[in-house]
Structure 1
Amino acid sequence: MEVKIRLASLLPLLGCFAGITRAQEALTPTEPVNLASITLNDGIPTETSGLYTSYSSTMTLTGSGAVVTPAGNGTGNGTAPYTTTSDSVTLLVGSQGVIKTMSANETSLSGNGTRTSSSGMVQPTNTRPCNGYPEFCARKYSNITNVAAHNSPFVRQGNIASNQNMPVTIQLNDGVRALQFQTHLINGTFNLCHSSCDILNVGTLDDYFIDVVEWLKKNPYDVVTILLGNGNFVPPTEFIAPFKKSGLLDYVYTPPEVPMGLDDWPNLSHFILTGKRVVVFLNYKANQAEVPWLLDQFTQMWETPFSPVDRSFPCVVQRPPGLGDADAKNTMYLASHNLNTEINFAGASLLVPNTVLLNETNAVEGYGSVGKDGVDCANKWGRPPNFLLVDYYNMGPFNGSVFAAAAMLNNVTYNGKCCGRLTSASPSKLISQLSSNMWPVYMIAMMALMVVL
């Protein structure tokens, strides 16, 4: 019988031979009693009862801070226009977006069609980038493809559990606008651990959030998405403390209702002008009636298969289970484009990140590329993914290839602002180093499996 074992099954040997940081033996994870029997199988809960929420109708959230005014103010949908002045540009934002001058009698509403003006007055032109591109200021949050760092905090050279090699500040500087990772509540403090704190523990959620807040202070025209993994299924109220302590709560967006459909999301300018520039999703146990700003991920965003090993990256719904096509087309979605490889030995197998094929996986075009994955998804669902979840975002056939792929899917010209480096080595050399560093661990793991079997 073939046995498939994840990294968590090989903790002792992997810890000894790969230099993996172990959690202190005295630390005990905080685990709700009613979820004690749930385990993760290949990253997916073995028992899904009570983990996925569905709504028969839309629920209005109180205290959301949504800006609503009576209809008839000239914008056509009851949303007041916003005006703000920066050091170099004035943004005029209404329900239709940022007005950009095209000619003496025509203006284009970036991302939202066109209209004609009878006035010959020259209209202001938006030149201030929102999330890197002026065109994004007028687009809805749900109409933008973002590069998402898979397991963003897990950066440790030579560690098999790492998925990135740049810290979060450089990730954000380079253009990553979504940060995904798993948390584990241990003795009242959230730790950033990869599957288990015995495999890789890179510190506290508090410290990670402080770095994000410092970046937000310096970049007031950017909107960041955080995809939190609730590693030990704790109540959502537990997450309030690290958001408050770090100061990140001041930036968090609260939607006016749940669930939010595609057309319900505001333009990017709304987040920027209101200062609420961080959208936070929790994958399991969210309760927006209790914590309205901690969004229930799988009622408002679906995902393609987790830990993919198929280079064709089929664009099908895995989570939440049972989601119909009609609902999927009215919901944001994330494409998991972080390729894994399966190592087989003595009838057993181990899933590990496929670093050998990063040049193909993180390419703009070609079989197995992130660009082709986005195009295939767009052809199937009528729109590209909202998030491209990738490993080692700064590696590929050329510097910034994953961002070039996102720009293509966004129908904008890639701005070329990537990528930061902690080393002078070329991407191909780094890929080679990553692969060669992992092989001793693979061999040790295989020997361990022989003993187990």
Structure 2
Amino acid sequence: MLPTSLWLLCLSVLGARAQSTGVTYTGTFSTLSAVPTSDFTGSQYIYITPTGQSTVSTASSLIEVSGTSSATGSASNSEANNATASSTSTSYSQITRSQTTQSVLNIAGTASSTSSNGTATASSTLSAALPVNTLPCNGYPEFCNRRYSNITEVCAHNSAFVVKNNAASNQALPIMDQLDDGIRMLQGETHLVNNTVYNCHSSCSLLNAGTWQSMLETLVSWLQRNPYDVVTILIVNSDYVDVGNYTAPIVNSGLMEYVYEPAFVPQRRDQWPTLGEMILSGKRVVVFMDYQADQATVPYILDEFTHIWETPFSPTNQSFPCTQERPPNLDPKVASNDYMYLANHNLNTAIDIGSLTGGSSDEPLLIPNYAELNVSNGGLNTYGQLEAMRLNCTDDWPRPPTFLLVDYYDEGIPSAGSVFEVAARANGVTYNKRCCGLGPQSAAPALRSSYAALAVAMVFAGMVAW
């Protein structure tokens, strides 16, 4: 039999107002006292803990509730023994979303409840297990009532650049693994070749990781299996082409169904919806573009630099200063109050192509500093580590970074903690997973020493000259 407190939670939601048959309820509630007394329409998701406690803010399951009610009543707060209700009788069903990570739970039946002077009783004809293995809102129930702009997420720099033994690669694990591990911003350099957008580094002749649309198709497949997550895409428009070139891949991949369109242009930091609101609406993919975005023409591809500022780009300085670099000349007060910000924490090594090939080059080639990956992605407050930059940025600005951009996110020293642990500390939550990079998996086995990295860089530079 379901616990009394669970029945009271469901009855309090369903019995908030007398309804006619065929009513489907909607709304989000942090406590029972937040239940409005107006009529509801649409789909309703409420939180219930595995133990059946009625404190919904610490829930681990999303339940879709629909049914009929001939009840009246109210609840003063989320504690069962404080509930006040007059004779409640409800018929309803509860259905969890079907996923590969959870079982479908169907409950149907009747329940009745009365209370007087703070003493509640309930009876039921049902007995069923509570749903498990569903953590809403990017893995943390605490995020459901937080604004999108008030959460720190890990960004995989050049997410699609997973080409084995290529010095221009930035990640070791493919997009699907990145998302499964907790990456919530996909970012990458793109180029337009023969009217098709590709994921390419510097030039498609040097590193071509496939079409941008194929990456989006992978994301759509993941979104279909993970209905409680919000993901961000940051497009690096390297050729400065018209934003219209990016609309067809979004539509053709099926991503358009999920793309979020802001209510304001630009949308200030305190105007963003909560993750819970985005998930309930189904619009849970935010798309930014660094250059050539035009929200008057394509409102769902947001101009990055009217919403996000960045620390120094492609850093080679291991101290990782948290100074504002892009967009240039941004008023610090505006940056602090109105913008989110991205911390570039991908340490690079500058290679002089000209000296290696006997020619000349105006611009050095920047490749990931493989020898320092364990330091860069570390979770200790030590020089060069991600945690040190997080703390430095939080001291310099009134909040931690919104996005932490890293190379080879799966690399790190187990004792130092992973990049995801750094993000969790920024968010005030506890990271309870085991990051993929702490086992035998290596981000770039052939490039673990600076000598090997230099050798590959020389080959890469020769390709450039050729």
Query: Match for residue 385 of structure 2?
Result: 369
Asked if 1:321 is matched to 2:336, the reply is no
The question of 1:166 aligning with 2:160 is answered no
Show the counterpart of 1:401: 418
Mapped contact 1:341–1:354 kept (Cα < 8 A): yes
Looking at structure 1, the residues matched to 463 and 45 of structure 2 have their Cα atoms a distance apart, in angstroms, of 61
Preserved CA contact (<8 Å) 1:286 1:295: yes
Q: Which residue of 2 aligns with 1:355?
A: 370
Partner of 1:189: 196
Q: Are the structure 2 counterparts of residues 428 and 142 from structure 1 closer, same or farther at C-alpha, using a change threshold of 3 Å?
A: closer
What's 1:288 paired with? 295
Aligned to 2:343: 335
**TM-score under structure 1 length normalisation:** 0.71
Distance 1:190 1:448, change over 3 A: closer
Separation in structure 2 between the aligned mates of residue 157 and residue 350 of structure 1, nearest angstrom? 19
In structure 2, give the amino acid aligned to 1:260.
Answer: Q
Q: How far is the alpha carbon of 1:105 from its aligned partner?
A: 6.8
In the alignment, is the contact (CA less than 8 A) between 1:158 and 1:434 conserved in 2? no
Name the residue aligned to 2:395: 379
The residue type equivalent to 1:396 in the other structure is G
1:83 and 2:44 equivalent? yes
Match of 2:435 in 1: 418
Q: Provide Cα deviations, 1:306-334, integer angstroms capped at 9, x if missing partner.
A: 11011111111111010011011121000
**Amino acid in the other structure paired with 1:405:** V
Distance 1:159 1:101, change over 3 A: farther
Give the 3 Å change call, closer, same or farther, for CA 326–419 of structure 1 in structure 2: same
Change (3 A) 1:285 1:75: farther
1: CA distance between counterparts of 2:393 and 2:434?
26
Q: Distance in 2 between matches of 1:314 and 1:307?
A: 12
Q: Distance in 1 between matches of 2:170 and 2:328?
A: 26
Q: CA deviation at 1:263?
A: 0.5
Q: Which residue of 1 aligns with 2:138?
A: 131
Which runs of no fewer than 5 residues in structure 2 stay unpaired?
A: 1-26, 28-33, 49-60, 66-75, 84-117, 122-130
Whether the aligned pair in 2 keeps the contact of 1:332 and 1:386 (CA below 8 Å) is yes
**Aligned CA distance change for structure 1 residues 429 and 170 (closer, same or farther; 3 Å):** closer
State the AA in 2 paired with 1:338. Answer: N
* Counterpart contact for 2:446–2:452, Cα < 8 Å: no
- Give the SS at the match of 2:205: strand
1:105-163 CA-to-partner distances (Å, cap 9, x unmatched) read 79xxxxxxxxxxxx9999xx997331011111111101100000000000011101100
In structure 2, give the amino acid aligned to 1:401: S
Assess, with a 3 A threshold, how the Cα gap between structure 1 residues 129 and 238 changes in structure 2: closer, same or farther.
same
Q: Which has the larger radius of gyration?
A: 2
- TM norm structure 2: 0.69
Structure 1 distance, partners of 2:119, 2:319, is 52
Q: Partner amino acid for 2:348?
A: N
1:100 and 1:388, CA in 2 relative to 1: closer, same or farther beyond 3 A?
farther
Matched, 1:389 2:389: no
Cα distance change, pair 394–447 in 1 and its aligned pair in 2 (3 A) = closer
Cα distance in 2 for partners of 1:167, 1:190 equals 19
SS at match of 1:440: helix
Question: Compared with structure 1, are the counterparts of its residues 251 and 429 closer, same or farther at alpha carbon in structure 2 (3 Å cutoff)?
Answer: closer
Measure the CA separation in 1 of the matches of 2:369 and 2:77: 44
> Are positions 1:307 and 2:323 aligned together?
no
Q: 2:460, 2:154 → 1: CA distance?
A: 32
* Equivalent runs, 1:40-59 vs 2, <5 Å: none
Greater relative CO (CA pairs within 8 A, separation 6+) = 1
Instruction: Point out where structure 1 has 5 or more consecutive residues left out of the alignment.
Output: 1-66, 68-73, 93-98, 107-118
1:95-244 matches, cutoff 5 A: 128-244=135-251
Which residue of structure 2 lines up, in the alignment, with residue 430 of structure 1? 445
Question: Is the 1:356–1:431 Cα contact (8 Å) retained in structure 2?
Answer: no
Shift of 1:101: 5.2
Q: CA deviation at 1:260?
A: 1.1
- Decide whether aligned partners of structure 1 residues 242 and 84 sit closer, same or farther in structure 2, where only a CA change above 3 A counts: same
Residue identity over aligned pairs, in percent, reads 47
Distance 2:277 2:188 in 1: 26
Q: Distance in 2 between matches of 1:300 and 1:357?
A: 31
- Aligned-residue Cα RMSD (Å) equals 3.7
**Paired residues of 1:158 and 1:437 also in contact (CA < 8 A):** no
**Could you give the per-residue CA deviations for residues 166-198 of structure 1, whole angstroms, max 9, x where no partner exists?**
000000000000000011111111111012112
* Deviation at residue 442 of structure 1 after TM alignment: 3.3
How far 1:266 moved relative to its partner?
A: 0.6
What displacement does 1:446 show? 7.5
